[in-house]
Amino acid sequence: MLLRPGERGIAGELCDCNLGAGKVQGKLYLTDQRILYELHESPGIFQPGRVITHIDLGLQEIRNISVVSQLIGGPRLQLEIRGNHCTFTVQDPRGWATAIAHARAAVPPPAPFLHVPPPPPPPPPGGGFTPVVVNVAPASATSHTVERQVVKVRCRHCGRLSDELPGKCSGCGAPL
């Protein structure tokens, strides 16, 4: 597991996980920002293994943390992530549940949604002139305003409005 800048590892344990498609053995990690579950594959003695990350989620994406009792094998840690239940066979499921809950409480809530202004209105139908104002500030204290007119031409092939100067349609590339 690679820690991100400013991230701190809290716990890690080799355990079994039931991901819905069967039980697999890997390593469960908890950091102060996220939870990870990785599988370590070893294809052979003289070949390097590879790490497959099955779970890599921010702590706020965990919907529910619980310890479930099983008839066979004792209690297990269960996490609800995006509507799916992942069950981990760890040594101390209650300790893991407490550690995850404390780490989640320390994570700041997501930033509020920022309003993005709407795009400018479309050009007038049928082409026409659209004034463009460019402010040019020379080294002196006075400023000058230069006004240009940009001609928009409708493409004969796709019907999109494009600037006249490039000589080709910005949508399909056909000559104007």
Q: Provide DSSP, 70-93.
A: -SSS--EEEEEETTEEEEEE-S-H
Helix segments in the chain, DSSP class H: 93-106
Q: What band does 129 get if pLDDT is binned at 50, 70 and 90?
A: low
Q: Give me Rg for the CA atoms of the chain.
A: 29
pTM: 0.58
Q: Which residue has the higher pLDDT, 83 or 33?
A: 33
Side-chain half-sphere CA neighbours of 110 within 13 A: 7
Q: What is the DSSP letter of 113?
A: P
Residue 66 in contact with residue 78, Cβ under 8 Å? yes
pLDDT at 170: 82
The Cα-based distances of 125 to 35, 77, 122, 129, 152 in angstroms read 53, 62, 8, 11, 10
Whether 143 shows a pLDDT value over 60: the answer reads: no
Tell me the average pLDDT of the chain. 79
Residue 87 in contact with residue 73, Cβ under 8 Å? no
The Cα-based distances of 74 to 26, 86, 89, 91, 113 in angstroms read 19, 16, 9, 10, 43
Measured distance CA(3)–CA(10) in Å, rounded: 11
